[in-house]
């Protein structure tokens, strides 16, 4: 199963039919995605599910129906165990950005974190997952697929928000305040943090 967020609302991609009366199930193979997205944005569909019986082709088929923008970013910790957040358009987010042509994912993630926050001395520990969300640009719906890495940094200098990317603020958030900060974030970021909650709590207990 995959979760794709549309205007912070989850769209489930699954190969299993669940007997739930509050879900609306659509066939992925024949669905008009643009019409589905429009209805979700208009709150005409509250709990959409896209179904295809073959789990192996589920995500591939979905991505064949929509332009895909690939991005990479980081869940970054400093030596104190604090987590690096950016604020854009009034909401807290994690630093990320587009993968440039011929650029590998790890290099893109490191570059984007430094560009958006001013933080350097970065090292990648491991990949922590992928998130998916749909956005509309120039009248076209697109899927942003972001790969995330857990990073560490020994940086202790000034944090510099990349204002040309509409970043208003950059802060190191103490680990015990991450959950509270995430309440004013995006659903895909909250999901990413939930996926790594045990490791976050483990770090908090060591502080």
Domain that holds residue 139: 68-206
Measured on CA atoms in the order 97, 99, 101, 103, is the torsion positive or negative?
Answer: positive
154 and 188 share one domain: yes
Nearest to 106, CA basis, from 117, 87, 92, 122? 122
Instruction: Determine the Cα–Cα distance for residues 118 and 116; give it in Å rounded to an integer.
Output: 6
Q: Rounded to an integer, what is the distance from CA 131 to the centroid of its chain?
A: 4
Domain boundary among 46, 64, 82: 64
Do 91 and 187 belong to one domain?
A: yes
Tokens 């958030």 — which residue?
Answer: 173
Q: Give the global pTM.
A: 0.90
Among 25, 40, 64, where does a domain finish?
64
Contact predicate 110/161, CB 8 Å: no
Phi, psi at residue 199, to the nearest 5°?
Answer: -70, -35
CA-CA distance, 195 to 66, in Å (whole number)?
26
CA–CA distance, 176 with 133 (Å, rounded to integer): 27
Q: Report the pLDDT value the prediction gives residue 205, as an integer from 0 to 100.
A: 46
Q: Is 159 exposed, middle or buried (0-12, 13-18, 19+ CB in 10 A)?
A: middle
Residue with token string 């350097």: 120
| CATH (domain of 88) | 3.90.79.10
SS3 61: helix
The tens-digit pLDDT sequence of the chain (207 residues) is 899 999 899 999 999 876 666 778 899 999 999 999 999 989 899 889 999 999 999 999 999 999 999 999 999 999 999 999 999 999 999 999 999 999 999 999 999 999 999 999 999 999 999 999 999 999 999 999 999 999 999 999 999 999 999 999 999 999 999 999 999 999 999 999 988 776 655 554 454
8 A C-beta contact, residue 74 and residue 151: yes
Pairwise CA distance, residues 207 & 200, whole Å: 11
* Number of domains into which the chain is organized: 2
């Amino acid at each position: 199963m995959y979760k794709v967020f549309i205007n912070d609302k989850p769209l489930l991609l699954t190969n299993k039919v669940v007997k739930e009366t509050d879900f609306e199930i659509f066939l992925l193979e024949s669905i008009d995605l643009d019409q589905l997205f429009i209805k979700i944005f208009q709150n005409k569909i509250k709990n959409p599910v896209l179904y295809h019986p073959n789990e192996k082709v589920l995500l591939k088929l979905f991505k064949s129906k929509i332009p895909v923008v690939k991005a990479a970013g980081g869940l970054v910790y400093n030596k104190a165990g604090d987590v690096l957040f950016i604020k854009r358009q009034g909401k807290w987010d994690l630093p990320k950005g587009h993968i440039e042509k011929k650029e590998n994912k790890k290099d893109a993630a490191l570059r984007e974190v430094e560009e958006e926050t001013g933080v350097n001395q970065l090292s990648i520990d491991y990949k922590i997952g992928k998130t998916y969300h749909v956005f509309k640009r120039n009248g076209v719906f697109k899927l942003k697929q972001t790969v995330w890495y857990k990073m560490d940094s020994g940086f202790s200098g000034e944090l510099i928000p990349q204002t040309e990317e509409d970043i208003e603020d950059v802060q190191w958030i103490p680990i015990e305040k991450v959950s509270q900060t995430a309440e004013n974030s995006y659903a895909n970021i909250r999901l990413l943090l939930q996926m790594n909650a045990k490791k976050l709590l483990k770090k908090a207990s060591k502080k």
